Each structure stands twice: as C-alpha cells, then as structure tokens.
Amino acid sequence: MITAKSDSADTLVRTDAQSFDVEAIRRDFPILQQTVNGKPLVYLDNAATTQKPRAVIDAITDHYLKDNANIHRGVHELSVRATAAYEKVRAKVRDFIGADRVEEIVFLRSTTEAVNLVAQTYGHSVIQPGDEILISTLEHHSNIVPWQMLCEQTGAVLKVAPINDAGEIILEEYEKLLGPRTMLVAVTHVSNALGTITPIKEIIDIAHRSEVRVLVDGAQAVPHTPVDVRDLDCDFYAFSSHKLFGPTGVGVLYGKYDLLNGLPPYQGGGEMILSVSFDGTTYNELPFKFEAGTPNIAGVIGFGAAIDYINAVGMERIAAYERDILDHATQTLSAIPGVRIIGTATEKASVVSFVVEGVHPHDVGTILDQLGIAVRTGHHCAQPLMERFGLTATARASFAFYNTRDEVDALADGIRQVIEVFGG
C-alpha cells in the first residue's frame, strides 16, 4: 500500500523511483477491484471524476467516527480537533500548488463555484458596459456560462480566442483579441474534452503585459501535472477535489492575496463575518470572507488525504507514467480503421477523445459498458468546442495513474467489437 503521511516523512513508503508499481497503486483503490457486467471494471472516465484511494475513504470515516463537530466556532475538544484538521488541509493545498499564503486558498464547492465567485465579485468590481472578457474555444461550460451571465448583467462583451484543428489555442489570435477593453482572461490549463495542455504561462505573460488579470481553470490540470501558481503568476486558479482523487463537493479558488483582499464578499451568512448588527456587518478576513456557512468539513479532510496520497506517489512520476499511457492509447486507437482521434495537440494530458465512423458515440459507450469499460460520451460540457469540430459528441477515454496499458488494449478490443457490431 502507498501510505501517505506528509507530516512524518519517515513513514512515507515510496515506490522505487525508477519503476511505477501500478498494481500496488490499484490495490489502494477498492472500487477498481470489481467486475461490471461480468468483466473486470476498466474505469476510463477520470476526467469526469476520479476514484478514491482507501486513505481518503478512511480519513472521512475517521473524521465522522472520532472528530465530527462544526469548525471555527467551538471551544470544545471535538471542534478544536475538527478545526485543526480542516485548516491543516488549507496549508497542504497551499503547498501543493505553490501558493504563498494559506489566506490565498478559499475552500468552495467546486471549480464551477470558484469561477462564479470570481465572476460575481471581481467581475462586478471592475466591469463596465463595453468591457471585454476573453476566453477560448476550449472552455468547459463552467468557464463560459458564468462570464455570459456577467456580460448579461453588466453589458460586457465575451470574446473567444480560436483554436487550430489540433485543438490548440492560436496564440497570435489570442494576443490580437487582447484589447484596451479586456478586463479579464479566463482560460483552461487542460481541456477536459480534448486533453490539450494550453501554454498557460505564455497566455498569462501576454495578458499581464497588457495589465489584464488571468483566471486559470485548472480542473483538469492538477490531476496530471505539477502546478505552481507562483511560477505561473496567475491571478486566480480554480480546481476541484473530486478530479484529484478526493471527495466531491470541495473546490478550491486560489487568488493572489491583495487581489482577493480587495474583493467584496460572494455570499453572506455565518462564518464570513466578524460582527453583525442591524446597522451593518463587518466582514471576516481572508479566506473566511468567502466561506459563508458550514463548509464540507469531512470532504476537505478527505481532500487532504488525497493530496498526501498524490504526494507520496509523486506528481512528476504520475505525469511521466500517464505520458506513456497516453502514447500507447494514441498509437493503439489511431491504428484502428474507422477511429478518428479528436484533439491532436502536441502537448496533451492523458485524455483521448475519439469518434468511430458510422457509429454514434452513445452506442460506442453503451457497448463498451457491456464489456465493463467506462468511457464518457457526449459533448463533455464543451458544446462550442464540439461545434468547432463539426460534431455533437465524441467518446472520451480519460486515464489516471491507476490505469494500465492492458486497459488501453481492452479499450481497443472493445472498439473493434463496436465496429464489428455495426458492420464495419
């Protein structure tokens, strides 16, 4: 078992740096040990949500068995313990993404909530009618719709940086779209639908040269690649625990301290205040100003265990292992006549979107499911991106570090069966 106790390094058991013991890792994920439709489960829907190692499940159970209490308010022992455990995770997240301060880490529900928070606070602070917000064709609906809503509310205009046929943002076009009215760039770090890794540092540098702030949607980047927000110099970075082997219902917004500190609160309620009277309210300090109401305490604690687990495996090693899986999947699938991979960027995370000639993606997904193989089919919450490729849907296999080359081969066999069924 990969044990992960980041605060006592001597108890860390790391696999040999040269090898990646995927079978040992798989044993840490109880859900993977099952059959589906009589076949061993091949879980390739990691971009939608990842599976959880036992360490995460145990951390949540332990919290409810031993420490459950509301946080920040109680003087009693359980509340003190729960508060300490919750706040410890904030420090883990800070270190995980290379932020300067714990105050820059806001716990929310999801990436979606983080983007909405920035739209409704930063957006409303700075946007005037006729101002522009610049996104890209690659975006997930979560990084489109909040900006469209802000545009409706303020009279701002949404601009979209185009992509090429490989699914890469065309940087020259992006740069041309940055104008005197651009108030914010909001771009994904990794595309969920195609796997494209965007040149995010360059995108940020270009925006900053025009003194434009940048929000990065990091939902699909953090599970696959080391992220250092200080090095990137992004102004905001959003991601979700559940795509990073942690529980659902927990998201993170990173924001530069001075920037976050200058923003108005997002939601009102308990926890985000210092004092309340009927004459007015004084808001709490960062990060609590943005954390109204009782948070997902157990979820955050489980998320901390996920970060420990990933750190124990090693993010660099995860990235290297997944590169091999991606290469194998790309070669194997593209060798099947009738299969076309959508998204062929030079820099990609381990996501392979594909279409099978003459077969609807939902049929591909249904037949694969009968073989115990879970892939995603549909528009992947990226309808404008699908439209760019003249499609309404694709099938998508998205890999995590517990997937194997054998599973890629099982997927390829499954696709060949799909083609046979449809008389290809």
Binding residues vs ligand PLP (CB under 6 A): 47, 110-112, 140, 142-143, 188, 192, 217, 219-220, 240, 381
Q: For the CB of residue 193, give the shortest distance to ligand PLP in the complex, in Å.
A: 8
Q: For the CB of residue 69, give the shortest distance to ligand PLP in the complex, in Å.
A: 27
Buried b (16+ CB within 10 A) or exposed e, 120-137: bbbbeeebeeebbbbbbb
Gap between the Cα atoms of 423 and 54, Å rounded: 43
Q: For the CB of residue 190, give the shortest distance to ligand PLP in the complex, in Å.
A: 7
Q: Helix (H, G, I), strand (E, B), or coil: what is residue 117?
A: helix
Contact by Cβ (8 Å): 227, 198: no
- Residue 229 or 359: the one with the smaller Cβ distance to ligand PLP is 229
- Residue 237 or 354: the one with the smaller Cβ distance to ligand PLP is 237
Give helix 361-370 / helix 405-421 axis angle, nearest 10°.
120
Buried b (16+ CB within 10 A) or exposed e, 212-249: bbbbbbbbbbbbbbebebeebebbbbbbbbbbbbbbbb
Q: For the CB of residue 84, give the shortest distance to ligand PLP in the complex, in Å.
A: 27
**β-bridge mates for residue 377, sequence order:** 395
Report the candidate in 410, 405, 414, 398 with the shortest Cα–Cα distance to residue 339: 414
* Residue 187 structure tokens: 């771009």
- Residue 140 or 159: the one with the smaller Cβ distance to ligand PLP is 140
- Residue 285: what residue type? E
* Residue 248 structure tokens: 């659902």
Q: For the CB of residue 183, give the shortest distance to ligand PLP in the complex, in Å.
A: 21
- Residue 238 or 411: the one with the smaller Cβ distance to ligand PLP is 238
- Residue 123 or 246: the one with the smaller Cβ distance to ligand PLP is 246
The DSSP-derived string for 357-423 is: TTB-HHHHHHHHHHTTEE-EEE-TT-HHHHHHTT-S-EEEEE--TT--HHHHHHHHHHHHHHHHHTT
* Residue 181 structure tokens: 């009215």
Q: For the CB of residue 219, give the shortest distance to ligand PLP in the complex, in Å.
A: 4
234 is catalytic: no
Contact by Cβ (8 Å): 349, 227: no
Range 5-10 contact pairs with CB under 8 angstroms and sequence separation of 24 or more: 5/308, 6/92, 6/307, 6/308, 6/311, 6/312
Gap between the Cα atoms of 391 and 393, Å rounded: 6
Q: For the CB of residue 127, give the shortest distance to ligand PLP in the complex, in Å.
A: 21
- Residue 49 or 370: the one with the smaller Cβ distance to ligand PLP is 49
Q: For the CB of residue 143, give the shortest distance to ligand PLP in the complex, in Å.
A: 6
* Residue 313 structure tokens: 């495996």
Catalytic residue among 115, 318, 381, 395: 381
- Residue 140 or 379: the one with the smaller Cβ distance to ligand PLP is 140
Number of CB atoms found within 10 A of residue 357's CB: 11
- Residue 108 or 355: the one with the smaller Cβ distance to ligand PLP is 108
Number of CB atoms found within 10 A of residue 11's CB: 11
Residues taking part in catalysis:
381
